[in-house]
Every structure is written in structure tokens, then in C-alpha cells.
Amino acid sequence: MSNSPTTPGLAAGRLAPAVLAENFTDLHPALDRHEAQVAADRCYFCHDAPCMTACPTSIDIPLFIRQIATGTAEAAARTIFDQNILGGICARVCPTETLCEEACVRMEAEGAPVEIGRLQRHATDRLMARNDHPYQRAAETGKRVAVVGAGPAGLACAHRLAMKGHQVVIYDSHPKPGGLNEYGIAAYKSTEDFAQAEVNWLLGIGGITVETGRALGSDLTLAGLQQEYDALFLAIGLAGVNALSVPGDDLATDAVSFISDLRQASDLDNLPVGRHVVVIGGGMTAVDAAVQSRLLGAENVTLAYRRGPEQMAASQFERDLAASNGVRILTNVRPVALHGDAGLREVELEHTSTADGTLRGTGETFRLPVDQLFSAIGQTLQGAPEGLEIDGGKIRVDATGRSTLPGIWAGGDCASGGEDLTVTAVAEGRDAAEDIHRALIHDSEGNLLLLQTTGGRSDG
């Protein structure tokens, strides 16, 4: 699958710079103080709040909304950050419509939930703007932990470990830290370089060193890291992309690369896009690629998904967002071939049906004109570290994030367990850090351990 195939239909500058700038403004503008007060006043402050149960990081949502209602937004932010140190980006990209807001009692009573996500952003933005980190490190423990991967799970783990007094080194293969927050989400969901601003703010805790351009399997090995550090946390994500595996699939572009290129583009006017774009997939990455193609000036954008709409991973909000931006959504179709000589010209799609849970092609096909096709059919673990047990294509871990090798934990998209969401990755990184701390320092009865559960150094 090509990252940037040469196709005659691709062109940059389809829209005027002013139009592009307007198209990529903030999807959910920040609430001002008065708007936040009005939104907070809608909360019932439930004692057994279903919204809190629905939050993967278990933020005390009624408490932080009450704090906003009483004019103490900075205290509300502290309530959020206690559970989710990346609460700022999660407020922007988290699918609240299927998590906390879907569970909101107001949703059941009135059909409109409390705007939990926007209230969370209001609080976290206020505190982060003060440029003084709200947490202080504990006394130095003398222990050193390596975190491989500077995405949400790795950053959350590193911050919690640093707060406990450990020294942490984060390694990441990209030029900049942030992981999917920096490279993998729609540009209109995180504007004004927020992902990097949040990383810089998080590092204000101290005790964390970031080394970019360092990848496991090239200049880093598990054995080498185990020799140097007391514990390892792997948050390497899913770097591989699934191929379409149909004739002509070398003419396709993977949607992840497209989104990354767009996120890192200094001038959207120079980013080429097709006139007729097709996106294969049914998740949020597919929707992000489709919507952003339209915002760049593509005339026709079609999102094609192999199963029914109720089985799409993208939420109803995301699907409505796509439709409102002029994206046509076709369900129960799958690609069977890509056609073109000098470049991509047509995609051949087959209608599908499902019987007894099994997807089948009907044999009925049709073609669509296309000069740019994005594949968003899932990502895979690339270069699984030797010796780690793999479960369902991911690193097998237990409930605390421990892998099957002593002294090595894993979390985020690369690990078995929860959904592939930023907020879930944060929770896994945070919880793994707590378990790493216990393993390095104390057992459940408070007795000092001598690193018997780790494969790392014993001289720290």
C-alpha cells in the first residue's frame, strides 16, 4: 500500500487559503466563563453518577462540574487531572457522546446531556494557561523506568511515575512526542498545536527525559533496556496498517499517513487532495480522513463500509459530522479491485450481506470514479518484541498491565484489553504506573521489595 501514490487527479490549493483556515477551525469552540456557568447549572450532581462510571479514567464528573458552578474552575481542573493528566486533549477528542454524555441523566430526561466534554476543556484550559504545574514530585526513589512510546499511555505512565519520585526516560520513534494525539487525530479536533503544548505542560512535573527518533527494534532492544532500567513500560501503539488485499491495492493510500501529513503540514494550501475521494472503513480514522478530504476541497467523498451502519465503530455523532460535511456513506459494500493505468481511476465495490454473523459477498458489483482512495481498515502491531506473548495481535497483559515477561508492562493500543481510545490509553498508563511503583518500592503490606518481580537493575 502506497503512502503517496502519484495520481493525475491529485491537486493542492483546491480552496482559497481563507476558506481552508475557516474549514479547519475548532470543532468544539471553548466555553467562556458565563457559558460554562450555564452549562454547569444543568448538572443534577448525581450521587451515584452514571457518567462517572462511563468514564474510563473514573473522573469525579459531578464534583468538577460543581466546582465550575461555584466559580472554581482551577479546582475542577485538579479534580480532572488527578485521574486523567491528559484531560485537556481528552476533552477535545474523546467520544463523549458514547461515554459520559450518553450516560448522563439529562440525556434520558431531556434528550440533551450536560456538555461534560466542553466543561472539562473549560476547566483544564484555565489551569494549564497558568503555566505552573499543579503537581510536585515525591522524594527521589533512585529507581529508573524506561517508557517506550510517547503517546497517551506512555505520557500518562511517565507522569505518574515521575510524581512518585522515579526517574523516567521516554523513547519515541517520531520527531515529536505525543503519539496519536500529535499525528493521528483530525486537525479540527486539536487546533493551535495543543498536543505539543500539553506535552510541554505535562513535562513540567520534572524527572522525565524524552528522546525522540529512538525505536524499539532498531537502536533499542528489550534486553538492553532491561539491563539499564529497573522497569519498562511499552506503549508502542499499532504502527502497521492492514492492507486491502485486492488487485491494484498499491494505488491506495493508508488513511493514517494522510492524517499525519495533514497534522504536520505547515500550510494546508500545499497539501494535495483528489477530486473524487473514496475512504474504505467504518471507524473514526475513516471519518477523519473523509471529512478532512472534503474540507481540503474534494468535490465528492464516499465512505464505504463492508457491514451495516449499526456495526460501524464510528459513533453516530461522527457519522452525522461526516454527512453534514457532504460525505456520502455507503454500507454493506467492500472493495474487490482498484483500477487504473497511469493512476487510480476507479474502485470496484461489491455488495455484501451477513448471515449467521458471517460476511459474504453477493457477487453484485459496481464502480465509482476515484482519484484518491484511503484505506482505514485497522492497524496492527508491527515488530512485536521478542519473548512477549501476543494475544489477538496485541501484547498480552493482565489487569495491571503486566506482560508475560518479568519487569515489563504494556498499555495503550499495543496491549490487550480495552478499547483503542485516548482516554482508555491514559487509564492504562496511569494504572500500570501505580503497579510499577508498587513492584519497585512496596508490597501490599508496605514492606520494601528488592525488585524480585522485575528483570531490571538491582543497584538502584
The predicted model gives 433-448 an average pLDDT of: 77
Cell, residue 218: 532498531
Are residues 255 and 232 part of one domain?
Answer: no
- Distance CA(163)–CA(140), nearest Å, equals 10
Are residues 214 and 170 part of one domain?
Answer: yes
Residues 288 and 280: beta-carbon distance below 8 Å: no
pLDDT of 4 above 90: no
For residue 157, tell me if it sits in a domain.
yes
Question: How much of the chain is helix, strand and coil, in % rounded to 5?
Answer: 35, 20, 45
pLDDT of 458 above 50: no
Percent of the chain with pLDDT over 90: 86
Q: What is the pTM of this model?
A: 0.93
For residue 450, tell me if it sits in a domain.
no
pLDDT of 161 above 80: yes
**pLDDT for res 457:** 39
What separation in angstroms does the CA of 138 have from each of 156, 166, 205, 293, 441?
A: 17, 8, 10, 47, 13
CA dihedral 285, 290, 294, 299 (to 10 degrees): 160
Chain segment 171-184, per-residue pLDDT in tens: 999 999 999 999 99
What three-state secondary structure class fits 17? helix
Amino acid at 302: T
Cell, residue 410: 504494556
Are residues 403 and 290 part of one domain?
Answer: no
What three-state secondary structure class fits 430? helix
Are residues 366 and 298 part of one domain?
Answer: yes
Question: Pick from 164, 232, 153: which is nearest to 431 by CA?
Answer: 153
For residue 2, tell me if it sits in a domain.
no
pLDDT of 3 above 70: no
For residue 454, tell me if it sits in a domain.
no
Chosen domain end from 340, 375, 410: 375
Chosen domain end from 101, 128, 155: 128
pLDDT of 288 above 80: yes
CA-based torsion, 317, 322, 323, 328: positive or negative: negative
Kindly report the CATH number assigned to the domain that includes residue 232: 3.50.50.60
- Full domain range(s) for residue 163: 144-239+381-440
Are residues 185 and 174 part of one domain?
Answer: yes
Lowest mean pLDDT: which of 166-170, 206-210, 362-366, 377-381?
A: 377-381
Instruction: Assign 285 a pLDDT band (cuts: 50, 70, 90).
Output: very high
pLDDT of 453 above 90: no
Pairing of strands 231-234, 408-410: parallel
For residue 181, tell me if it sits in a domain.
yes
Instruction: Assign 448 a pLDDT band (cuts: 50, 70, 90).
Output: low
Chosen domain end from 98, 128, 158: 128
Average pLDDT, the chain: 92
Percent of the chain with pLDDT over 70: 94
pLDDT of 454 above 70: no
Give me the number of domains the chain comprises.
Answer: 3
Are residues 224 and 156 part of one domain?
Answer: yes
Instruction: Assign 382 a pLDDT band (cuts: 50, 70, 90).
Output: confident
- Distance CA(188)–CA(186), nearest Å, equals 5
Chain segment 203-248, per-residue pLDDT in tens: 999 999 999 999 998 889 999 999 999 999 999 999 889 999 999 9
Question: C-alpha 150: how far from its chain's center?
Answer: 12
The predicted model gives 87-96 an average pLDDT of: 96
Chain segment 26-37, per-residue pLDDT in tens: 998 999 999 999
Are residues 349 and 248 part of one domain?
Answer: yes
For residue 456, tell me if it sits in a domain.
no
Pairing of strands 276-280, 300-304: parallel
For residue 12, tell me if it sits in a domain.
no
pLDDT of 261 above 90: yes
Are residues 327 and 282 part of one domain?
Answer: yes
Are residues 406 and 340 part of one domain?
Answer: no
**pLDDT for res 1:** 55
Kindly report the CATH number assigned to the domain that includes residue 81: 1.10.1060.10
Chain segment 74-84, per-residue pLDDT in tens: 999 999 999 99
- Distance CA(323)–CA(333), nearest Å, equals 18
For residue 86, tell me if it sits in a domain.
yes
Instruction: Assign 460 a pLDDT band (cuts: 50, 70, 90).
Output: very low
Instruction: Assign 445 a pLDDT band (cuts: 50, 70, 90).
Output: very low
**Exposure on the CB side of residue 216, measured as CA atoms within 13 A:** 25
Strands of the 327-330 sheet, one edge to the other: 253-254, 372-375, 276-280, 300-304, 327-330
pLDDT of 103 above 90: yes
**pLDDT for res 418:** 73
Are residues 365 and 247 part of one domain?
Answer: yes
Are residues 353 and 253 part of one domain?
Answer: yes
Question: Pick from 397, 355, 128, 374: which is nearest to 262 by CA?
Answer: 374
Are residues 247 and 371 part of one domain?
Answer: yes
Chain segment 338-374, per-residue pLDDT in tens: 999 888 999 999 999 998 889 999 999 999 999 999 9
The DSSP symbol for 24 reads T
Length of the chain: 460
pLDDT of 420 above 50: yes
